[in-house]
Structure 1
Amino acid sequence: MPSEPDTRPSEARSRLLDTASRVFYAEGIHAVGIDRIVAEARVTRATLYRHFPGKEDLVLAYLGQVDRMMRAQADRATGAGLPPPDAVRALSASIAEGIGSPGFRGCAFLNAAAEFPDPESPVHRAVLAHREWFLGTVTDLLARVRPTGAGPAALHFVMMRDGAMAAGCLFDPALVRETFLLGVERLLADHGRAS
């Protein structure tokens, strides 16, 4: 019987993706060249291209990794068996916590959208797919708080989150976190009163 192929990511691929993720987030995608990623990951160019045929493939893998982390974060907040309003608060708290983290530079997806504005770009489409998932997740969560008006309330939440992510790298992160969480409480109160 043939043996199963090893589907674990190689150490070189992991180093490439970790390096790219760190520098893309810290400095911007277009600002970082392949040569730098290869050097910092301590691999050859051939190794890079064996795992990622082009820079765009590496960018998509970076965004895929961030997407998986954010989905896991949302799953932890919403899957903890909390009453729906407390699940919204838990999701909000996890977002607020990220804003104060060392090296915070805003939302990786909004940053990528700014660098890849062409709606036909695979990177731009990956950003939109992530955003659709996030809006859908928040809509479903708010529909459990109160079924009427969940769509507009979710869009409001996402816009507050986007603003907090942008403000968190420009202003005092503690103040931004506090303001974001206060906004969420007001949204929950207003949404709870909606008919």
Structure 2
Amino acid sequence: MSGTTRERPLTPAGRRVLDVAGRLFYERGIGQVGMELIAAEAGVTKKTVYDRFGSKETLILAYLRARDERWRAFLGERLAAAPSPRERILVTFDAMGDWLRTNGSRGCSMVNACAEVPDPGHPVHKTAAEQKAWLRGLYLELATEAGYDAPGPLADRLVVLHEGAVVMFSVGGMAHATDIARETADLLLTA
């Protein structure tokens, strides 16, 4: 993608645009937010938005990547502080609960974007699939690190548990969904 934010650093105006777009896309949905609104709330011209990002699609992808980077950094801090490999697995659920309560009342931005863009060939789906593959890979790495005999099937179960908790928190209104997911993960790790 020529001219994207992945190839060059953001200017202060570009950072404002991305921050505003991210907030609006997450809170209102990507289909409900136009470039005019983003420009107005970022205090820039619509031309600046297009000069920096090129298209709404590129801006949406930049938003998804930026939000994912923030989640990974947030989770990484929690993982680094966990005292054991087994606890590193469980702390992913604690971190997810804290993230959802402070950053994610509408659930997963990747899932939300895929719901709004139903074409499976759209780049949004590729970005979301990459994020979900990363999460499954993280669980595989953690399960292997903790010495479990069948880390692949365990990683599958943990990622399904994780994603299910996000949905039940945001869509099902279950405030304690991540606590239940953690307890269930603990049972899986003990079995």
- For the criterion TM > 0.5, the same-fold answer is yes
Q: Distance in 1 between matches of 2:92 and 2:174?
A: 21
Between Structure 1 and Structure 2, how many residues are aligned? 183
Q: Distance in 1 between matches of 2:125 and 2:174?
A: 30
Alignment-derived partner of residue 193 in structure 1: none
Q: Distance in 2 between matches of 1:52 and 1:8?
A: 12
Give the CA deviation at 1:137. 0.8
Q: Distance in 1 between matches of 2:88 and 2:13?
A: 38
Q: Distance in 1 between matches of 2:33 and 2:84?
A: 44
Q: Which of these two proteins has the greater Rg computed from alpha carbons?
A: 1
RMSD (CA atoms): 1.7
1:70 has 2:71 as partner: yes
Give the CA deviation at 1:27. 1.3
Give the CA deviation at 1:82. 2.5
Q: Distance in 1 between matches of 2:26 and 2:182?
A: 25
Alignment-derived partner of residue 147 in structure 2: 146
Q: Distance in 2 between matches of 1:40 and 1:165?
A: 29
Name structure 1 gaps, 5 residues minimum: 1-6, 191-195
Q: TM-score, normalised by structure 2?
A: 0.88
Give the CA deviation at 1:47. 0.2
CA contact (8 A) 1:93 1:181 kept: yes
Q: TM-score, normalised by structure 1?
A: 0.86
Q: Once the two structures are aligned, what percentage of the paired residues are identical? A: 32
Alignment-derived partner of residue 79 in structure 1: 80
Amino acid of the structure 1 residue aligned with 2:149: T
What does 1:1-195 correspond to in 2, within 5 Å? 8-80=9-81, 82-101=83-102, 104-169=105-170, 170-173=172-175, 175-190=176-191
Q: What SS is found at the alignment partner of 2:87?
A: helix
Give the CA deviation at 1:161. 1.2
